[in-house]
Structure 1
Amino acid sequence: MSGTEGTSGATTGTGAREEGCVFCGIVGGDVPAELVASTDRVVAFRDLSPQAPLHVLVVPRAHHADVVALGAADPATLADLVATAARVAADGGCTAGEHRLVFNTGTSAGQTVHHAHGHVLAAPGASLDGHL
């Protein structure tokens, strides 16, 4: 393990899984999830506690503690994550890029799983007001 999960900011960045990381477990197929999209670099799956009618998480296959670490180590994967998020929103019924893509970075900002991930939040055909 490259650091204490959730506090070190350490990344493996090599595709290696971080022991005890639930998102690494999902990427590896050891933890069940409802997958909605995947590429060679990222995986998208439905949030277990949705905060909007459409709430999907998009995570890199390689473990990085947060989006800042991901962007520094692998900007191409961050770009793929953003593109996949837009595709998930469009596939979910959103038009013209009408969705939120939220990254919580660090515990004090609400990040509870310290594997970089973006939340795709949308209310296809309606406003997100009242959902968040």
Structure 2
Amino acid sequence: MNTSASHDPNCIFCKIIAGQIPSKKVCEDEQVYAFHDINPWAPVHFMLVPKAHISSMAQLGQEHAALMGHIMTLAPRLALEQGCNPYPDGGFRVVVNTGAEGGQEVQHLHVHVMGGPRPWAKG
């Protein structure tokens, strides 16, 4: 099922991407906007958000494979740039909450990247 649109005027992440709501930008390219989480769970905590409005990971189709590959290859580079220590002693966590039971609060696909010195585990 594909429920993606270029923009949802009621979506907070679409408004952040459009610059209508301020954010602390990490990175931006044609496909993705990355910004710091306003309620971080770790010393390093940012999100990678596709610019196209895709409601959740459950709506991904084969047509999104390149986009998700792009996001997942950006994550390690940006994690290091934002202060995560290198693998294998350092590292980071990648989390995608999907749907109400998965803890998704904003209905726009977003990939959390969290890392830095522990203890910061919350779940």
Equivalent residues, number: 118
Aligned to 1:96: 87
Query: Which residue among 15, 26, 32 is the counterpart of 2:22?
Result: 32
The 5 A counterparts of 1:44-59 are 44-59=34-49
Report the Cα distance in structure 1 between the residues aligned to 2:83 and 2:120, rounded to whole angstroms: 19
How many percent of aligned residue pairs carry the same amino acid? Answer: 33
Normalising by structure 1, report the TM-score: 0.81
Query: Which residue among 28, 34, 50 is the counterpart of 1:60?
Result: 50
Structure 1's consecutive aligned runs of 4 or more residues displaced over 6 angstroms after TM superposition are none
Structure 1 82/71 Cα, relative in aligned 2: closer, same or farther at 3 Å? Answer: farther
SS at match of 1:121: strand
Query: Which residue among 78, 83, 89 is the counterpart of 2:68?
Result: 78
Structure 1 87/68 Cα, relative in aligned 2: closer, same or farther at 3 Å? Answer: farther
Stretches of structure 1 that go unaligned for 5 or more consecutive residues are 1-8
Higher strand share: 2
CA RMSD of aligned residues (A): 1.7
Query: Which residue among 23, 42, 53 is the counterpart of 2:32?
Result: 42
Q: Identify the range of structure 1 (69-78 vs 112-121) with the bigger mean alpha-carbon deviation.
A: 69-78
Normalising by structure 2, report the TM-score: 0.86
